[in-house]
C-alpha cells in the first residue's frame, strides 16, 4: 500500500483558500490519508482553519492527520509538498499604503499585485520571506515540491529560481483555466468541450489556439464565434461572482485589436498597459468600465463575507464542497502516483518561448507525472504579443536584479519602465513616488532599501 504524503500549507490562515485546496486533496484517493501541516503566524486564524480542515477531512471520509504550527521550519520538516499562499503586510497596512501613496502622487491603480509600484512594493516585501522558506526547505525537506500561489507571481518565482535553483517549484494561478470557463459561459457552451494552447507570462498569457469540439467530434476555432458574440452585445456575460464593477470590456476590446484573448481579467490588464488609466480621461474609464481601486474594495467585501462564512462553517455538521479549478491537488496526485496530468505553470524560460528573454519567468503548459513538473516548448509566439509582454518583463527583470543585488537604483528603474506609470508620471515624479513608498512601508521592506 502506498504511503501518504505530507502536505505543508504556509499561510494557512487564508482559510477560504485552504478550504478550496484541501477540499480537492481529500477527494483524491492517493492523498486523502495525507498528513496536513497547517502553518500561520496568526494563532487565531490558524485555529479557525484547523476547524474547517478537520470538518472537510471528516466530511470527505479522509483518514489523514492535521498538525498546526506557528514555526515554519517545524511545519516543513519532511514535507513532500509545500503550498505557499500568504500576503506579507496584508490588506492593512501594506495594500492600503500602496494605493493611498500612489493616489497622492496622481497614479490610480486597480489591483496593484503584479506590476507597477504596487506590484514592485509587494515583491520587495514578499521575496525575502519566500527565500526564507527556500532556506528551510533546503535544510528539512530538500526533495519537496513547492506550489507557489503568492503574487507578484513572475517576480517571486524568478527570484526563487535565481537564488535557489535546486528547489523544485512552480508558480500557480487560475487565470488560464478560469478564463477558459468564463469564455465558455459567455457562449453558453460546455467548458469541457474546449481545447486550447496558451502561452506567455503570468497575467499576460494568450490563447494561441482556442477551439471547441463539435457534435461530429471535430474541433473548430472559437475566436470567430467569440468576436461575433461581442459585436452583437451577447458577450461578455455579467460577472460570475456578481461583481457589477468588473464588466470585462478591456479584454474583449484588446481581443479585437490583437486577435488573441488574454487570460487575466480586465481590471488586471488595464494597469499593465499605458492605454486605459490616465489623469483627466474619465471618458476612458467610462468607456472601458475600468474599476479603479478594485482590490481594496474587494478586500473589504471579502473580509465581511469571511466572518459570515466562518460562523457557518463552525456550526455546520459537515462541509461539502465542489471541486475547485486550482491545480494543486492535480499536481500532487500526478507526482505522487505517476498518473500524468497537464497544468499551466509559471517556470523559468529555458528554451520554452523563443522570442521572450531566456531566464525570464513564463507561463506554459507543463506535463506532470512521476518524473516531475516538465514544461513544454512553445516556440515562437506572435511578435505583437511578445512585444507587449516584453514591456512587463522589463519591470520584472529590473526588480529581480534589484533584490538579488540589493541595488536601490534598480527599484527606481523598474518603476520607470512600468508602462502605466510611465504614461502618467514624469521621471522625477516616479522617483519621488518610490521614495515615499519606501518611507511609508518602513520595516516591511528589506533593510538595504533604507540604508
Extract the C-alpha cell encoding 227. Answer: 468576436
Instruction: Tell me the pLDDT band of 240, cut-offs 50, 70 and 90.
Output: confident
Domain boundaries along the sequence of the chain: 6-175+319-340
Are 347 and 373 in contact by the 8 Å Cβ rule? The answer is yes
Does the pLDDT value for residue 2 go beyond 80? Answer: no
Burial letters for 155-187: b for 16+ Cβ neighbours within 10 Å, e otherwise? bbbbbbbbbbeebbbbbbbbbbbbbbebbbebb
Does the pLDDT value for residue 438 go beyond 90? Answer: yes
d(C-alpha 184, C-alpha 186), whole Å: 5
Predicted pLDDT at 244: 81
Does the pLDDT value for residue 388 go beyond 50? Answer: yes
Q: Taking the CA atoms of 387, 388, 391 and 394 in sequence, report the sign of the dihedral they define.
A: negative
Extract the C-alpha cell encoding 216. Answer: 461530429
Among residues 35, 174, 241, 413, which one is catalytic? Answer: 174
Identify whether 50 is a catalytic site residue. Answer: no
Q: Confirm whether residue 203 is marked as ligand binding.
A: yes
Instruction: Tell me the pLDDT band of 305, cut-offs 50, 70 and 90.
Output: confident
Predicted pLDDT at 171: 99
Residue of 73, 16, 62 lying closest to 36 (CA atoms) = 62
Predicted pLDDT at 1: 46
Bridge partners (DSSP) listed for residue 353: 379
Predicted pLDDT at 146: 99
Q: Confirm whether residue 151 is marked as ligand binding.
A: yes
Average pLDDT for the chain = 96
Q: Confirm whether residue 366 is marked as ligand binding.
A: no
Q: Taking the CA atoms of 85, 347, 134 and 91 in sequence, report the sign of the dihedral they define.
A: negative
Does the pLDDT value for residue 187 go beyond 80? Answer: yes
Are 369 and 339 in contact by the 8 Å Cβ rule? The answer is yes
Does the pLDDT value for residue 105 go beyond 60? Answer: yes
pTM, full prediction: 0.97
Lowest mean pLDDT among 1-15, 282-296, 360-374: 1-15
pLDDT, tens digit, for every residue of 33-83?
999 999 999 999 999 999 999 999 999 999 999 999 999 999 999 999 999
Predicted pLDDT at 395: 99
pLDDT, tens digit, for every residue of 134-174?
999 999 999 999 999 999 999 999 999 999 999 999 999 99
Does the pLDDT value for residue 121 go beyond 70? Answer: yes
Overall residue count recorded for the chain in this entry: 451
CATH number (3.40.440.10, 3.20.20.30, 3.40.50.720, 3.40.640.10) of 6-175+319-340 reads 3.40.50.720
Check residues 242 and 94 and name the one with the higher pLDDT: 94
Does the pLDDT value for residue 200 go beyond 80? Answer: yes
In the structure, how many helices (H) and strands (E) does the chain have? 17, 12
Amino acid at each position: 500500500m502506498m504511503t501518504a504524503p505530507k502536505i505543508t500549507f504556509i499561510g494557512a490562515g487564508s482559510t477560504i483558500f485552504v478550504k478550496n485546496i484541501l477540499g480537492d486533496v481529500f477527494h483524491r484517493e492517493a492523498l486523502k490519508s495525507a498528513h496536513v501541516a497547517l502553518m500561520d503566524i496568526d494563532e487565531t486564524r490558524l485555529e479557525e482553519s484547523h476547524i474547517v480542515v478537520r470538518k472537510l477531512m471528516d466530511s470527505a471520509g479522509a483518514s489523514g492527520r492535521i498538525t498546526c504550527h506557528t514555526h515554519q521550519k517545524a511545519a516543513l520538516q519532511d514535507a513532500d509538498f509545500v503550498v505557499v499562499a500568504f500576503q506579507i503586510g496584508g490588506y492593512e497596512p501594506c495594500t492600503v499604503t500602496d494605493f493611498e501613496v500612489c493616489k497622492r502622487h496622481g497614479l490610480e491603480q486597480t489591483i496593484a499585485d503584479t506590476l507597477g509600484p504596487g506590484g514592485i512594493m509587494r515583491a520587495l516585501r514578499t521575496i525575502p520571506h519566500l527565500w526564507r522558506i527556500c532556506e528551510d526547505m533546503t535544510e528539512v525537506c530538500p526533495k519537496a515540491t513547492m506550489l507557489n500561489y503568492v503574487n507578484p507571481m513572475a517576480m517571486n518565482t524568478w527570484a526563487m529560481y535565481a537564488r535557489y535553483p535546486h528547489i523544485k517549484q512552480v508558480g500557480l494561478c487560475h487565470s488560464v483555466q478560469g478564463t477558459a470557463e468564463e469564455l465558455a459561459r459567455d457562449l453558453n457552451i460546455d467548458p469541457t468541450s474546449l481545447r486550447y494552447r496558451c502561452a506567455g507570462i503570468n497575467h499576460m498569457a494568450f490563447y494561441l489556439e482556442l477551439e471547441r469540439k463539435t457534435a461530429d467530434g471535430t474541433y473548430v476555432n472559437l475566436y470567430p464565434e467569440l468576436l461575433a458574440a461581442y459585436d452583437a452585445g451577447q458577450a461578455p456575460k455579467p460577472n460570475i461572482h456578481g461583481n457589477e464593477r468588473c464588466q470585462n470590456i478591456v479584454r474583449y476590446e484588446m481581443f479585437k485589436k490583437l486577435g488573441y484573448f488574454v487570460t487575466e481579467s480586465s481590471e488586471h490588464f488595464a494597469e499593465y498597459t499605458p492605454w486605459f488609466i490616465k489623469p483627466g480621461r474619465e471618458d476612458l474609464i467610462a468607456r472601458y468600465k475600468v474599476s479603479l481601486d478594485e482590490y481594496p474594495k474587494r478586500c473589504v467585501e471579502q473580509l465581511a463575507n469571511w466572518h459570515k462564512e466562518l460562523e457557518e462553517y463552525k456550526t455546520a455538521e459537515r462541509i461539502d464542497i465542489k471541486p475547485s479549478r486550482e491545480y494543486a491537488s492535480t499536481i500532487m496526485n500526478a507526482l505522487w502516483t505517476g498518473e500524468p496530468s497537464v497544468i499551466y505553470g509559471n517556470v523559468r524560460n529555458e528554451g520554452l518561448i523563443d522570442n521572450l528573454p531566456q531566464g525570464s519567468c513564463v507561463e506554459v503548459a507543463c506535463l506532470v507525472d512521476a518524473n516531475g513538473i516538465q514544461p513544454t516548448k512553445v516556440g515562437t509566439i506572435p511578435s505583437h504579443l511578445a512585444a507587449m509582454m516584453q514591456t512587463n518583463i522589463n519591470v520584472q527583470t529590473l526588480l529581480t536584479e534589484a533584490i538579488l543585488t540589493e541595488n536601490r537604483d534598480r527599484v527606481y528603474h523598474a518603476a520607470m519602465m512600468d508602462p502605466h506609470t510611465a504614461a502618467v508620471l514624469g521621471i522625477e515624479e516616479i522617483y519621488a513616488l518610490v521614495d515615499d513608498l519606501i518611507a511609508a512601508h518602513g520595516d516591511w521592506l528589506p533593510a538595504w532599501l533604507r540604508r
